[in-house]
Amino acid sequence: MDLESVLNAIDFGVIVCNEDGDQVVFGNTWAKSAVPGIASEPALLPVELRAAIDEDLDARGFLTEFSRTHHLTLNDGRKLSMRFKCLGSEQRTTGFLLLLSRARLRRDDLYSVLNQSFGLTKRTCDIAMMIRDGYRNEEIATQLNLAVGTVKHYVHRLFTAVDVRSRSELVRFLDKRTRDTTHGG
């Protein structure tokens, strides 16, 4: 199996740009489906991605390590997370390597979705997040200064509201809600 086949088989985007950062030299299958315009010839890097690169380069200079994560919204509404690093050396940049993934909903966004779609209160959402993070009822009670029985009541209401029967089902439910905020790839 060649390198291009391997890169096309992974479930996140890989883009290699030229030294100016405006022309796409390579984009794997995931990136081509998630980022409009890079499947065409010549493929140009969308301005939103280029702006994030410029922002980090202006602040930190040549990046030998991957940049911080940039959360981007493309013109068509797709939400992506991007990290990049410079290729070459400080004396001569030969290009950029970009890694893209589907953006995950932030905790506040997830609370909003759970409130609007299922009528869950902030406290119930807090407990849902703690269950997702692996806390037991006793630990939740201690952290939130509640009685264990009260936590059990919240957990029961939570399970009923989102129609799950176990903690593992709840974790899968929450992960599914946070996983994909793009409509590509």
Are residues 47 and 73 in contact, defined by beta-carbon separation less than 8 angstroms? no
Q: Torsions phi, psi of 67, nearest 5? A: -70, 175
| pTM confidence score | 0.59
Q: CATH second-level architecture of 3-102?
A: 2-Layer Sandwich (3.30)
Spatial CB neighbours of 102, under 8 Å, sequence gap ≥ 6: 34, 79, 80, 81, 179, 180, 181, 182, 185
Instruction: Encode pLDDT of 115-157 as tens digits.
Output: 989 999 999 999 998 898 788 899 999 999 999 999 999 999 9
Are residues 104 and 60 in contact, defined by beta-carbon separation less than 8 angstroms? no
Instruction: Please enumerate, as own/partner, the contacts of 27-32 that have beta carbons within 8 Å and a separation of 24 or more.
Output: 28/4, 30/100, 30/185, 31/100, 31/185
Number of residues that make up the chain: 185
Instruction: Encode pLDDT of 54-63 as tens digits.
Output: 998 998 889 8
Is CATH 1.10.10.10 correct for 107-179?
Answer: yes
Structure-derived torsion over alpha carbons of residues 95, 63, 54, 87, reported in degrees to the nearest 10: 0
Residue 184, pLDDT > 50, answer no
For residue 23, the 8-state DSSP code is: B
3-102 shares its CATH topology with 107-179: no
Domain ranges of the chain: 3-102, 107-179
More confident residue, 153 or 20: 153
Are residues 96 and 53 in contact, defined by beta-carbon separation less than 8 angstroms? yes
